[in-house]
Amino acid sequence: MKSKIIKVNSSDNVAVALVNLKAGEVISFEGRDITVLSDIKSKHKIALQKFESGDRIMMYGVLVGSANGIIEKGDVLSTENVKHQSEKVFGKTETIGWTAPNVDKWKDRTFLGYHREDGQVGTENVWLFFPLVFCENRNIEILKEVFEKELLKQKVNPHQMLLRSLVNNTTEEASVENNSYNVFENIDVKFITHPGGCGGIRQDSESLGKLLAGYVNNPNVAGATVLSLGCQNLQISVFKEALNTINPNLNKPVLIFEQQQMGTVDEMLSAIVKESFEAIKKANNTVRKPAPLSKLRVGLECGGSDGFSGISANPTLGAVSDLLAALNGTAILSEFPELCGVEQELVNRCVEDDKGQKFLKLMKAYEKSVVDAGSGFDMNPSPGNIKDGLITDAMKSAGAAKKGGTSPVQDVLDYGEYITKPGLNLLCTPGNDVESTTAMVGSGANVVLFTTGLGTPTGNPIAPIIKVSSNTELMERMPDIIDIETGAVIRGEKTIEEMAEEMLNFIIEVASGKIQTKAKLLNQNDFIPWRRGVSL
């Protein structure tokens, strides 16, 4: 490690501690000595100058807060001496140019994907079961048990065996069938439940209908079985209209069953099992074939972030995003509360002025709804974020935005809108990990890169979630949930560009089905729709 602290941008007046710093030690940095005034944990920020009350605190080259009193040079920044502050943005002030990275070595690379008739290519081949309303959740759970028991022959859960030994008051292990296999080789069967579709406001049901339509249209889905009660807000007609809006030429099997029109539960479930099984058998005939990297649509997510996320994992994702943009692939940057403070840069990167205005309109409407609910974007950092050095929303946002790289913003999407343009897309979602990931997949992402510094097990029913740790220690502590780590960047052993190339190779392996993500191995299938205005 070359230095104990790092300044992310030349205009910053604070730095990040790369190791624990002790009060009284003297650090040589940029040709001058800095005396550390108090113990500073790694990932936290040290003042490079003396701040008077109200002085602007800059990091990543943007305003991330202001001094809440005097902060001496060499002291630690905390929630007590720093308050959230960000720049006000009204529109585009300049057009930011972009020099695309050299992608000659990637132009002829391919991944093995599932080709759909509309030209999209999936990284998975999934038959999806879901309800239009929570009243059908029980029937979905019954179908899940039936199909998983017969289509997935799986060994007994080791924790079940542990409980069995405790119940029987013995340490002897029961005989367990160690092999597990799928009846069908080329298709997975997945199930979604949710608490929506009725009650609440009609707009929430309509929004859910768009989200579910996006899941059906996602190239990772071969077809779907949809359950409806009949009287709910999210009517079959509303769902079909949403599906037609996204893709009027959709040519996938979508089997819809309405309980109030079918009689008994037994009669309905019997019909569902028979018809779905026949459709699944046909979908199993689809096999992986080579596809150009331009068919990759990568969601960019962060959760359980730490003070290193913005200088290792997130910039690596940004470099991957730029590679994809140069290859005519697609990247999706979401989590609008975590773009607070970097709006000006993103607006200036929009290729069309109206896209920049749409972004600002969505941001302002979202922030107003949060304020009206008695909160604010400044409440976004979680206790875990703060403990690991992300003490203001703008500071967290400036690091989170690094996932989007430097390429032009080609499109801005509201929640539930589907991708139509390659390159970098901004998607309005909460910062909540699962709500955001759920939304990006609903907008067409066929794989998601998910950075974390503290660790999170999040997965998705239809898209592989590649978990990227910002530091090596997390990978060593939680190897069952982390797929790839970027600690070598912190140690100065690899550049961001080198790490990005390693990550793109990893994505290709996952997209081709050659590597199973840890979330998939754990059968982690998270799905949370957004009820707008009540989530950060």
247 and 300 housed in the same domain: no
Q: What's the confidence (pLDDT) of residue 130?
A: 98
Within 8 A by CB and 6+ apart from 292, the residues are 109, 110, 327
What's the token pair of residue 127?
């038959």
Q: Do 139 and 271 fall into the same domain? A: yes
Contact between 482 and 518 under an 8 Å Cβ cutoff? The reply is yes
Do 306 and 269 lie in one domain? The reply is no
The pairing of beta strand 110-115 with beta strand 121-122: antiparallel
Domain contains 109: no
Give me the CATH number covering residue 136: 3.40.50
CA 204, chain centre distance (Å): 21
Domain that holds residue 31: 5-84
Token pair belonging to 354:
């109206």
Q: Tokens 């199973």 belong to which residue?
A: 516
**Which pLDDT score, from 0 to 100, does residue 175 have?**
46
- How far, rounded to the nearest angstrom, does the alpha carbon of residue 535 sit from its chain's CA centroid? 16
| 26 strand-pairing partners | 35
Last residue of some domain: 285, 310, 325? 285
How far apart are the C-alpha atoms of 318 and 399, rounded to whole Å?
Answer: 11
Residue 97, in any domain of the structure: no
CATH number at residue 27: 2.30.130.110
Q: Residue for token digits 């040519």?
A: 251
Tell whether 252 and 301 lie within a shared domain: no
Question: Could you report the per-residue pLDDT of 127-170, keeping only the tens digit for each?
Answer: 999 999 999 999 999 999 999 988 876 656 777 777 777 778 76
Same domain, 448 and 419: yes
Cα separation, 213 vs 443, in Å, equals: 9
Buried/exposed 179-216: b ≥16 CB within 10 Å, e otherwise: eeeeebeebbbbbbbbebbbeeeeebbbbbbbbbbbbb
Q: In this structure, are residues 332 and 324 in contact, taking their beta carbons and an 8 Å threshold?
A: no
pLDDT value of position 522: 94
User: Radius of gyration (Cα) for the chain, nearest Å?
Assistant: 24
Q: Are residues 76 and 198 in the same domain?
A: no
For residue 458, give every residue at least 6 positions away whose Cβ sits within 8 Å of its Cβ, in sequence order, or none. Answer: 303, 433, 434, 437, 450, 465, 467, 519, 524, 526
Number of domains in the chain: 3
**β strands within 217-269, DSSP E:** 221-228, 254-258
CB atoms within 10 A of CB 240: 15
Supply the pTM of this predicted model.
0.92
Domain boundary among 84, 112, 143: 84
In a domain, 16, yes or no: yes
- Residue 316 phi/psi, 5° resolution? -65, -45
Q: How many residues does the chain have?
A: 536
CB 347 within 8 A of CB 92: yes
| Spatial contact of 462 and 217, defined as CB atoms under 8 Å apart | no
What distances in angstroms separate CA 369 from CA 63, 330, 413, 532, one per listed residue? 24, 30, 18, 9
Assess whether 299 and 253 both reside in one domain.
no
Q: Is 529 inside a domain boundary?
A: no
Residue 248 is assigned to a structural domain of this protein: yes
- Same-domain status, 311 and 348: yes
Domain contains 100: no
Cα-based distances in Å from 279 to 6, 48, 103, 142, 172: 56, 64, 40, 19, 43
Sign (positive or negative) of CA dihedral 227, 232, 237, 239: negative
> Is residue 101 domain-resident?
no
pLDDT at residue number 205 = 94
Q: How many angstroms separate the CA atoms of 17 and 520, rounded?
A: 35
Residues 272 and 187 in one domain: yes
Two tokens, residue 426:
């901004």
DSSP, residue by residue, 336-398: GGGGTT-HHHHHHHBSSHHHHHHHHHHHHHHHHHHHHTT--GGG-S-HHHHHTT--SHHHHHH
Beta carbons of 18 and 3 less than 8 angstroms apart: yes
* Same-domain check for residues 199 and 309: no
Q: Which residue has the tokens 């199909």?
A: 147
Mapped to the 3 state alphabet, what secondary structure does 180-202 carry? Answer: CEECCCCCEEEECCCCCCCCCCH
In a domain, 533, yes or no: no
Helix (H) or strand (E) holding 424: strand 423-427
* Each residue's pLDDT tens digit, 174-232: 444 445 567 889 999 999 999 999 988 889 999 999 999 999 999 999 999 999 999 99
Residue 43 dihedral angles phi and psi, to the nearest 5°: 85, -15
Q: How many CB atoms lie within 10 A of CB 153?
A: 13
Q: How far apart are CA 517 and CA 480, in angstroms?
A: 10
Q: Helix/strand/coil (H, E, C) string of 479-518?
A: CCCCCEECHHHHCCCCCHHHHHHHHHHHHHHHHCCCCCCH
What tokens were used for 408? 């032009």
Final residue in a domain of this structure, among 84, 116, 151:
84
Low-confidence ranges of the chain (pLDDT < 70): 1-2, 153-156, 170-181, 378-380, 533-536
Residue 213: strand, helix, or coil = helix
> Can you read off the two tokens belonging to residue 373?
């609910």
Please indicate, yes or no, whether residues 255 and 363 belong to a single structural domain of this protein. no
Which strand ranges, in their side-by-side order, compose the sheet holding 484-485? 409-413, 423-427, 330-333, 297-302, 447-452, 465-469, 484-485
pLDDT of residue 132: 98
For residues 328 and 469, state if they share a domain.
yes
